[in-house]
Chains A and B, each alone.
Chain A
Amino acid sequence: MHQSIQQTDFDALMEQVHKIGKEVIAVNADDVDKQARFPKESIEAIKSLKLMSAYVPASMGGMGLSVGQVAKVCEALGHYCGSTAMIYAMHKIQVACLTHHYHDSPYLIDYISKLVNEQRLIASATTEIGIGGDLRSSICAVEVDGDSFTLTKKAPVISYALDADDILVTARRQADSAASDQVQVMFHKGQFELEPISGWDTLGFRGTCSSGFVISGKGSIGQIFPENFGEILSESMHPFAHIVWASLWSGIAADAVNKARKFIRNQAKKNINAPPISAIRLGEVDSVLQNMRNNIAVAEQEYSDMLTAGDKNAFSNFGFGIRINNLKTSSAQLIVDIVGKAMLICGIASYRNDSPMSLSRHIRDAYGAALMVNNDRIMLHNSTLLLMHREEH
């Protein structure tokens, strides 16, 4: 559906990504983590490669990367800074919602060209205070008045809200709509106000600045997505999010394994006749990383094939939803497992904050994976869906 970039061009792009990764993103990662600040330099570097519109089809001025290629970029960024990779992944989820669901909305088509030209950063406000984390329910409602609308939402988290150019917000279609009759609307900077309600002093992913806000704003009705949010969620937001999240987590995990490999190599150099005791663990952790990557590749392939086939009904199949959820819950566990194993290999050097072998940020980020859209909530949901799912023979 989207893939239009040549493999050689993509390889060249990935070289550039690793270049800014080493020269800019990794250099700032510790400070971003320490200060819990937005990784401004890293996002600017990403913009300089035009990566904000990487998933926009080439016919609309973007790079035309496939889902799998975007996932590769997220993984690469994860090697250098988990927060930067997470911000980029979250932005890309919103871009997927836009490029899959603009339909013929002149407003959104025009916006996509602005996204390409200005390399804008898009944030998202889906969860709401009083709902308990269920994306498919809203309390707040869009209030249309003529050609414009107003909306106020109490959001427990809006990642990088203060640094975003645009924010996509979910809400009930109108005042008398059911909680699940939702739309997605887009606010641009200048159209909304943010009243802070909670900060973001967390264990990991500190640079995502995912504070809570009451967001209130006014826009034109063209800024309301034409398609129901339920469709956008099952076709785009849900599968795309779990694929790019799992990918960036695998990048964090792979960086930890790289450190472990380096540690073992240094040890082996000291005494080639007696390989270090933890060498066997390197073999073990590498195999877990491979499992994690394989899980992602399979899910990404299934989703890409579905996008290519263009059968909209296929996305709402409960079996597909279950598999995508499984990707999320298992990847969120594997990242903790992998970074933990890498720490066993590197020993106390990885436990230190002031060592080049430190895995402190990695392990703190890793524990966030199971909590952002809580694994237990997803597994409860899956256990419900499994009552309706049959393996066909």
Chain B
Amino acid sequence: MNTEQIRAILAEHGRLTTPVEDLEDTSDLYHSGLTSLATVGLMLALEDEFDIEFPDSALSRKTFTSIESIAEVIEELVE
């Protein structure tokens, strides 16, 4: 999946300490300054953007650990 959309949302809502363009798809977002409060904003924006609803089983730190992990979950939900 093209991660540009995710990166744009992350730049707007992630409040990261590292610029999004410096992150790899696999970089740990929690190590890049992602907080639980910022995770809420990120999740709500992702739901809006992709017109999805994360199920409870996907609502964990694991899902929001990296751009790659977010993309994987979204791909599953969009299908």
Contacts and interface: CB of A to CB of B under 8 A. Distances in A.
Interface of A: 136, 173, 177-181, 228, 230, 234, 313-314, 316-319, 381, 384-385, 387-392
B35 to A, nearest CB: 7
A392 B55 contact: yes
Given A181-B28, A390-B56, 6 more contacts: A181-B31, A313-B60, A387-B43, A388-B40, A389-B56, A390-B54
Interface string B24-47: 000010111111110110011000
Contacts of A388: 39-40, 43, 54, 59
A179 to B, nearest CB: 7
Contacts, number: 65
B17 interface: yes
B18 interface: yes
A390 B59 contact: yes
Interface residues of B, number: 24
B62 A319 contact: no
A178 B31 contact: yes
Interface of B: 17-18, 28, 30-37, 39-40, 43-44, 53-57, 59-62
A136 B57 CA distance: 23
Contacts of B53: 390
Nearest to B31: A181
A381 B60 contact: no
B37 A384 contact: yes
Contacts of B62: 313, 316
A178 B32 contact: yes
A179 B33 contact: yes
Contacts of A387: 40, 43-44
B35 A180 contact: yes
A180 B56 contact: no
A234 B43 CA distance: 20
A177 B36 contact: no
A149 B32 CA distance: 23
B56 A317 contact: yes
A381 B36 contact: yes
Contacts of A318: 59-61
Contacts of A313: 60, 62
Nearest to B41: A387
Contacts of B17: 178-179
Contact of B56 (A173, A178, A230, A391): A391
A318 B18 CA distance: 25
B56 A384 contact: no
A228 B35 CA distance: 15
A173 B61 CA distance: 19
Q: Which 5 pairs across A and B sit closest by C-beta, in order of nearness?
A: A316-B61, A181-B31, A317-B60, A316-B60, A178-B33
A116 B43 CA distance: 45
Nearest to B53: A390
